[in-house]
Amino acid sequence: MKSQPLQNTISRTFLGSVLGVWFVLALVYSILGGFRGDPSQPPLALGLGVLSPVLLFLAAWYGSARVRHFVASLDLQTITFLQIGRIFGGAFLIQYLLGGLPGVFALPAGWGDVAIALTAPLVAWMLVAKTPSRLSILLVWTVLGTLDLIVAVSLGILTSQSTLGVLAGAMNSAAVVVFPLSLIPTFLVPFYLILHLITLARVRGHLAYPQQSLMKQK
């Protein structure tokens, strides 16, 4: 029977492989223009690109005790700090200033991502410092980060060049489904949403069982 450290090493190797394959698929499909879709149809390709990884993660989470145990072994401080990568959402603000994206989408999506990215190191530090209010702050911050992603995707669809683009006018969010911006909704958004879901699950477990540590389980 494999030891727990060996199992975690194998799991991390497998996770790295999955992330690598996922990124390559999103990259290749983006370069080929596969997420652009048909303006006369709903943005199905983009929707699948955003939702499929999250749904697959949830299926694995609820269907495998091994996956749940592995997730519980992840360092919550690292998971939190990784949200600093949301700074790439600032590209929406740049595109807005260049006239490439509508403000109704770019401003809330861009500033929301930047706010989460800039505060990620502080929240991660609070976990390590074990400040008294760390759990409440982590929960609120995670909920806000999750809502930001949901709002950004929703506004992106509503301003898209598709049948669902009811908020699109002379300017739309078509640039978001074109490489390289297309990697944000098809890789970064589901990746960071999954990290938020993991955090929420860990906080929920801690609230249900206060003796359970929020930090990395050996």
218 lies in a domain?
A: no
142 lies in a domain?
A: yes
Phi, psi of 166 (to 5 degrees): -70, -20
191 lies in a domain?
A: yes
Residue 1 has pLDDT above 50, yes or no: no
141 lies in a domain?
A: yes
- Say if residues 95 and 181 touch (Cβ distance below 8 Å): yes
216 lies in a domain?
A: no
State how many domains the chain has. 1
The pLDDT of residue 208 is: 58
Please report which confidence band the pLDDT of residue 211 belongs to, taking 50, 70 and 90 as the band edges.
low
| Rg of the chain taking only CA atoms, in angstroms | 18
Kindly state the DSSP code that residue 188 receives in the 8-state scheme.
I
- Spatial separation of the C-alpha atoms in residues 71 and 11, rounded to whole Å: 10
65 lies in a domain?
A: yes
pLDDT tens digits, 31-89: 999 998 888 889 999 999 999 999 999 999 999 888 888 888 889 999 999 999 999 99
Does the pTM surpass 0.75? The reply is yes
pLDDT tens digits, 122-150: 999 999 888 888 889 999 999 999 999 99
pLDDT tens digits, 146-155: 999 999 999 9
Give mean pLDDT, residues 11-22.
86
91 lies in a domain?
A: yes
Residue 2 has pLDDT above 60, yes or no: no
The pLDDT of residue 33 is: 92
Task: Label residue 123 exposed, middle or buried (CB < 10 Å: 0-12, 13-18, 19+).
Answer: buried
150 lies in a domain?
A: yes
Please report which confidence band the pLDDT of residue 12 belongs to, taking 50, 70 and 90 as the band edges.
confident
Provide the residue range defining the domain that includes 169.
4-208
